[in-house]
């Protein structure tokens, strides 16, 4: 798990930059705070997972990060659906979200097998 906290921090930073590129309108006022909260929470929970109190705590932190990641993907989908940004602008973010989800899901499965 050495690079996952750094990778999720970079993901959060990229989402912040994407948010800054959104047009300023009523939808952005709704979607913006939500996507900022969920994307930064992914990074925070994986960071917390570096020093878990137990295997159960580790699983809880990483599963929480997965939930926040999936919420972030929802907000990105809505941003595209409502034409706030073109799909091509978010393609790399969607790809990274998918890869992070796969990595974290594998980590949880392995941790559950060990416990």
pLDDT-derived band of residue 115, with 50, 70 and 90 as boundaries? Answer: confident
CB neighbour burial string for 76-99, b if at least 16 within 10 angstroms, e if fewer: beebbeeebbeeeebeebeebbee
**Domain boundaries defined on the chain:** 4-114
Cα within 13 Å of Cα(76), Cβ side: 27
Which CATH architecture fits 4-114? Up-down Bundle (1.20)
Tens digit of each residue's pLDDT (9 = 90 or more) over 22-79:
999 999 999 999 999 999 999 999 999 999 999 999 999 999 999 999 999 999 999 9
Residue 34 burial (CB count, 10 A)? 14
pLDDT of residue 54: 94
Structure tokens at 88: 């091509």
pLDDT of residue 26: 95
Rounded CA-CA distance 41/44 in Å is 5
User: Taking the complete model, does pTM exceed 0.95, yes or no?
Assistant: no
């Amino acid at each position: 798990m050495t690079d996952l906290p750094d990778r999720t921090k970079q993901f959060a930073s990229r989402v912040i930059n994407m948010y800054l590129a959104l047009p300023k309108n009523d939808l952005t006022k709704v979607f913006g705070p939500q996507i900022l909260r969920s994307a930064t929470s992914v990074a925070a929970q994986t960071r917390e997972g570096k020093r878990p109190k137990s295997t159960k705590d580790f699983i809880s932190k990483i599963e929480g990060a997965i939930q926040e990641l999936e919420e972030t993907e929802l907000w990105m989908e809505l941003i595209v659906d409502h034409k706030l940004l073109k799909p091509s602008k978010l393609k790399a973010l969607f790809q990274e979200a998918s890869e992070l989800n796969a990595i974290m899901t594998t980590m949880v499965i392995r941790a559950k097998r060990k416990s």
